[in-house]
Amino acid sequence: MPIILRYRIKSFFNKVKNFNRWERIKNFIFTLTGIILLLLLYLSFFRILKYLKGVELIGGLLISKLSAMVFVISFFMIVVSSLIISMTTLFYSYDLKFLFSLPLKETEIFSDKVLNTVFYSSWSLMLIILPYVVALMRINNYSIDFLGIFFLLSIPYAFLAAIIGLFFSLLLMYFFPNSKTRDFIWILSSLSFALAYVGLRFSKPEKLLRPDMMGVIANYLTYLQAPTAPYLPSWWLTKGMIAYGNSNWHSFFINLLLLYAISTILYLLIIKTSQKTYLKAFSGAQSGSNKKYLYRIPFEFKISQKIKSLKNIMAFMYKDRITIKRDVRYYSQIILIAALSMVYVFSIRSLPLNDSDVKNFVSFLNIIVVGFVISAVALRFVFTSVSSEGGAVWIVKTIPVKAENFLFSKLIFYFFPIFILTMILVIVSNLYLEVDTFMFELSVFASTIISFVLCIFAISFGAIFPDFNIENIHQVESSYGGFIYMAVSAVYCVMSASLFSYPVRNYFYMIHNTNYHFEQRAFYAASLLFIAISFSFSYWLFKRAVKSFEKIEV
């Protein structure tokens, strides 16, 4: 076993061994919640697969097609994840300078970072796919060794996907050591990926899943039988698993061989490439930007000159704004979020809905779905904002600024973009759905409160579960704090919509029965209860976060 990996494993076990009581409890709760969520996922997948299996004649084909789609999507997600993570692991890890000072070969350091990237970019996705595979195993009555086969095939599959991202980062850093050009290429690549994603969605792939839109049923069957992205490892994984399930050993071994052979070739190729490129790319990454930024009085300071009590809040808002403006890593994620929003709205527009009741109902459900989307965006930007202070958190702890002002500055700073994104998703969806005024106003009202509350949740959980020693901010997102934040946010979004279920039902009755009167009082009561629960819980959580942040010792 390579020496760096050996000590990495050793330090992991030391960490686990030295957990204090509170850390053990936290990890236990985290694991338990994780298992429950995986179980829920399994049940959902099982239901979907059971339904598909029940479709006459083509049940098996549908399941194969769905599996192929699940694996192709996961493949691209690992590629993107590796692209983002590898920039840090290859060039900015804390231990790199130390490792380069040791008498180790560059390839040893590089291969350690490759393993790191493969692990961090794929483990959570593979964990989420696991319930799907278990459901697949149950529905087809496969034996337990099917799971083992999945592990066997998924290792080279994840490896291949991650190596694509690694190759991109390595070559980008090698060919563009100048930070300005590199930033430009990085943004351009993100933009290209986002455009490809939007383009793919705009081509309406759902048409292919609906036989009525295919014209001839034979076309549909041909589509189902055709491979999905046959030149991608995801197809080899799908085929390998199906072949194993059907005891088609020839096909199974071919695909197993393909996965392992290509991943080995690519691994050897990237190692070979790294021998000539890694050191130069690493050196280039260490050189800072020489760009001059001429100082002009920022608008935050102009505000604080007029309102003295806002001085501290404005100072931190200024610092955060400048950081996001100059850190190009944020740009790619903002571009991807913009693409995601376009696809979201387009998907709403593409829904085959003709009935106004259904449209109104979709608008109501959209409150929950937008809430989920906003939670995910806030997880990336808002939840991580406290931890992103990193080593400089000592500044916050030693200056005369109240913890609540520090956290409040982050809340104000992040709320406005989150609110705008929420409104775009809700209002444009409602316009496409042509919903009634009541549903329009209700969804805008509920989503406004939800977006604010989700920001408070994100800041608060971020302050309760901070990590100032991380190399990569994405590690904070996948921490137990991030997990708890997402779980609480999901419960809150569902609860918010369910509070309005009675008034909404009343509204539907009223539309279909002219003698039925809409119960205004019930609507106001639901609204008040919604506001009361939202703000009292948020207030309590924020206060808890302030106390927790004050207690942090760095």
Residue among 379, 368, 400, 410 nearest 486 (CA): 379
Which range of residues in 95-103, 293-301, 364-372, 420-428 is near another protein by CB under 8 A?
293-301
Give the ranges where 327-436 is alpha helix by DSSP (H): 328-349, 356-378, 384-387, 393-398, 403-433
Among 314, 379, 418, 545, which residue interacts with another protein (rule: CB under 8 A)? 314
Q: Which is nearer to another protein, 184 or 301 (CB)?
A: 301
User: By CB under 8 A, is residue 323 in contact with another protein?
Assistant: yes
Do 134 and 42 contact (CB within 8 A), yes or no? yes
Do 481 and 461 contact (CB within 8 A), yes or no? yes
Q: Which is nearer to another protein, 242 or 315 (CB)?
A: 315
Q: For the CB of residue 316, give the shortest distance to another protein in the complex, in Å.
A: 8
Cα distance between residue 486 and residue 355, in whole Å: 33
φ/ψ (deg, to 5) at 434: 50, 55
Binding mask 534-553 for another protein (x = CB under 8 A): -----------------x-x
Q: For the CB of residue 466, give the shortest distance to another protein in the complex, in Å.
A: 14
User: By CB under 8 A, is residue 25 in contact with another protein?
Assistant: no
User: By CB under 8 A, is residue 293 in contact with another protein?
Assistant: yes
User: By CB under 8 A, is residue 2 in contact with another protein?
Assistant: no
DSSP 8-state secondary structure symbol assigned to residue 214: S
User: By CB under 8 A, is residue 318 in contact with another protein?
Assistant: yes
Binding mask 400-419 for another protein (x = CB under 8 A): xxx-----------------
Cα distance between residue 303 and residue 147, in whole Å: 60
User: By CB under 8 A, is residue 304 in contact with another protein?
Assistant: yes
Q: For the CB of residue 377, give the shortest distance to another protein in the complex, in Å.
A: 21
Q: For the CB of residue 334, give the shortest distance to another protein in the complex, in Å.
A: 16
Cα distance between residue 145 and residue 435, in whole Å: 51
Cα distance between residue 445 and residue 437, in whole Å: 12
Residue among 470, 436, 464 nearest 364 (CA): 436
Q: Which is nearer to another protein, 226 or 395 (CB)?
A: 395
Among 8, 26, 138, 311, which residue interacts with another protein (rule: CB under 8 A)? 311
User: By CB under 8 A, is residue 309 in contact with another protein?
Assistant: no
Which range of residues in 189-197, 316-324, 349-357, 372-380 is near another protein by CB under 8 A?
316-324
Q: For the CB of residue 29, give the shortest distance to another protein in the complex, in Å.
A: 21
User: By CB under 8 A, is residue 326 in contact with another protein?
Assistant: yes
DSSP 8-state secondary structure symbol assigned to residue 517: P
**Total residues at the site for another protein (CB under 8 A)?**
37
Taking the CA of residue 165 as centre, how many other CA atoms within 13 Å lie in the half-sphere pointing to its CB?
A: 32
Which range of residues in 29-37, 76-84, 122-130, 307-315 is near another protein by CB under 8 A?
307-315
458-478 burial: b if 16+ Cβ within 10 Å, else e: bbbbbbbbbebebbbbbbbbe
User: By CB under 8 A, is residue 22 in contact with another protein?
Assistant: no
Q: Which is nearer to another protein, 230 or 391 (CB)?
A: 391
Among 294, 352, 512, 515, which residue interacts with another protein (rule: CB under 8 A)? 294
Q: Which residues within the stretch 231-270 sit at the binding site for another protein (CB under 8 A)? A: none
CA 438, 440, 443, 449 torsion-angle sign: negative
User: By CB under 8 A, is residue 295 in contact with another protein?
Assistant: yes
Give the ranges where 55-144 is alpha helix by DSSP (H): 59-91, 96-101, 106-139
Do 342 and 198 contact (CB within 8 A), yes or no? yes
Cα–Cα distances in angstroms (integers) from residue 53 to residues 20, 59, 68, 130, 432, in the given order: 48, 4, 16, 19, 34
Cα distance between residue 312 and residue 296, in whole Å: 19
DSSP 8-state secondary structure symbol assigned to residue 379: I
Binding mask 359-398 for another protein (x = CB under 8 A): -------------------------------xxx-xx-xx
Q: For the CB of residue 293, give the shortest distance to another protein in the complex, in Å.
A: 5
Cα distance between residue 115 and residue 123, in whole Å: 12
User: By CB under 8 A, is residue 23 in contact with another protein?
Assistant: no
Q: Which is nearer to another protein, 15 or 349 (CB)?
A: 15
Residue among 199, 465, 193 nearest 334 (CA): 193
User: By CB under 8 A, is residue 44 in contact with another protein?
Assistant: no
- Contact footprint for another protein (CB under 8 A): 20, 288-295, 301, 304, 308, 311-312, 314-315, 318-319, 322-323, 325-327, 390-392, 394-395, 397-402, 551, 553-554
